[in-house]
Amino acid sequence: MSNKLLSALFGAGFAMLALSPAVHASDVLADVHAEAGGCESCHADGEPSADLAHENGTCVDCHGGMADMDEPHPTHEDVVNCTDCHEMHEHTADTKPELDASDEKCADCHG
């Protein structure tokens, strides 16, 4: 392969990488997902469901279940949903939810 062709391919690849959307630590999670596919990427018909079941299913479809996560997650897979801890419209990409028994969802079982 010629040096000119290699240089052109490298330059094109670098330009595509530079123009691709990147997730920054300060990005609000809902905005990141909306940029990837609009509100419909999480919400059926672009509107939140009453029980957030569709939204939680969408989380699992893309990211896997709690057992698939790189970092430890509580083993409450059938009790706790993604949206119980991850506030998509408030948390940023670098937000790590704090486990706190005083949280409403935790207090339901742990008082």
- The range of the structural domain enclosing residue 99 comes to 3-110
List, for residues 48-100, the tens digit of each pLDDT value: 999 999 999 999 998 888 878 877 676 676 778 888 888 888 888 888 777 66
Number of domains in the chain: 1
Q: Looking at residue 34, what is its pLDDT?
A: 85
Q: What is the CATH number of the domain that holds 9?
A: 1.10.1130.10
Does the pLDDT of residue 10 top 60, yes or no?
no
Asked whether the beta carbons of 83 and 52 are under 8 A apart, the reply is yes
% pLDDT > 90, the chain: 14
More confident residue, 101 or 33: 33
Residue 5 to residues 1, 9, 22, 67: CA-CA distances in angstroms? Answer: 7, 6, 27, 45
Q: Looking at residue 52, what is its pLDDT?
A: 92
Asked whether the beta carbons of 32 and 23 are under 8 A apart, the reply is yes
Does the pLDDT of residue 40 top 50, yes or no?
yes
Distance CA 15, CA 111 (A): 54
What does the longest C-alpha to C-alpha distance in the chain come to? Answer: 69
